[in-house]
Amino acid sequence: MERDLDNRGGVSEQRLIADKSIELASGTRMPILGLGTWQARGRSAVSAVLRALEVGYRHIDTATAYGNEAQVGQAVAESGVPREDVFVTTKLPPSRAGRERATLEDSLDALGFGYVDLWLIHWPPSGRARPDVWERLLELQAEGLAREVGVSNYGVRQLDELERETGRLPAVNQIEWSPALFDRSVLEAHRRRGVQLEGYSPLKTVNLRDPQLGRIAEDHGVTPAQVVLRWHIEHRIVAIPKSTNAERIAENAAIFGFELTPSEVEQLDRFAGNRPVYVTNDRSPRS
């Protein structure tokens, strides 16, 4: 049964969002669009993940620090979608460096899973690359507890340090990304190393009321948020927009029925440096 969504989130064409995936260096396929879950808690987190799975998402991003792994696992179980069809990421808080195994086991218990698809070091512990921590992730991957391992909020030099010390690069680096944060040199540095760039906070780091963005959206009959997410897809960057609103969850996934022209992509690339001010992100004391 294949289906896709029209630009308002209704079920129309015969394509699954899940088919839209990229290949990691190892050959593992990772859906290019996922649901972010930071600040989704309790029943609202369960409903959001259920809604996402219902409209075709097959990729959910959580973290130990989000306190919602149990809700993510519950929703996957309740959804009826086979566990192996859903790509689930969770993250090791830097404060748990040295307690990697216990932390991953806690995550798996909370999720009710035998493995996660991607396990990330959430932030460089105390700002350092910590190849010793990375080594533990590789060991737990070798035991089959995580299909893929990677990092988040790492700089390119820190990626290189991990490789130099362990001979292995992360499969993924999850970093803040949007047109307003576009940096071609960072994107290309990841490409050259075969590290998949995964972008977080795709919507709240850009001004969705920007008139130029509005014009592009109007030309395609879509919303500004859909244009921003589609821009990630055009660059082959994994995007994980968060929403707990049923309509916006569907809207954010309905980005496979249109394409941006190269000139539109370039216009959005030039948003670089125009980040709007916002006050919170998950760089809280928790992690």
Ligand X SMILES: NC(=O)c1ccc[n+]([C@@H]2O[C@H](COP(=O)([O-])OP(=O)(O)OC[C@H]3O[C@@H](n4cnc5c(N)ncnc54)[C@H](OP(=O)(O)O)[C@@H]3O)[C@@H](O)[C@H]2O)c1
Closer by beta carbon to ligand X, 36 or else 179: 36
Closer by beta carbon to ligand X, 164 or else 286: 286
- Minimum CB distance to ligand X, residue 124 (Å): 11
Query: At how many degrees (to 10) do helices 156-166 and 131-142 cross?
Result: 60
Closer by beta carbon to ligand X, 1 or else 199: 199
CA distance 44 to 61: 15
Using rule CB under 6 A, residue 8 touches ligand X = no
Among 5, 217, 222, 240, binds ligand X (CB under 6 A): 240
Among 96, 97, 244, 253, binds ligand X (CB under 6 A): 244
Q: What is the DSSP string of 187-232?
A: HHHHHHHTPEEEEESTTTTS-TT-HHHHHHHHHHTS-HHHHHHHHH
The number of angstroms, rounded, from the C-alpha of 55 to the middle of its chain's C-alpha atoms is 17
- Minimum CB distance to ligand X, residue 61 (Å): 4
Among 242, 250, 260, 264, binds ligand X (CB under 6 A): 242
CA distance 93 to 95: 5
Please report, as residue ranges, which positions from 33 to 92 form the binding site for ligand X (by CB under 6 A): 36-38, 61
Please report, as residue ranges, which positions from 145 to 184 form the binding site for ligand X (by CB under 6 A): 152-153, 174
Closer by beta carbon to ligand X, 100 or else 150: 150
Pattern 185-224, ligand X, x by CB under 6 A: ---------------xxxxx---x----------------
Using rule CB under 6 A, residue 251 touches ligand X = yes
Active site residue 154: no
Select the span of 1-9, 93-101, 104-112, 237-245 touching ligand X (CB under 6 A): 237-245
Which residue's CB atom is positioned nearest to ligand X? 36
Using rule CB under 6 A, residue 107 touches ligand X = no
Q: What is the DSSP string of 47-114?
A: HHHHHHHHHT--EEE--GGGT-HHHHHHHHHHH-S-GGGSEEEEEE-GGGTT-HHHHHHHHHHHHT-S
Decide: helix, strand or coil at residue 253. Answer: helix
Give 26: exposed, middle or buried? Use CB within 10 Å, 0-12, 13-18, 19+. exposed
DSSP E strand stretches across 218-275: 238-239
CA distance 166 to 218: 49
Closer by beta carbon to ligand X, 80 or else 211: 211
Indicate the residue type of 199.
Answer: G
Give the active site residues.
Answer: 66
Residues that bind ligand X (CB under 6 A): 36-38, 61, 122, 152-153, 174, 200-204, 208, 225, 240-245, 248, 251-252, 281-282
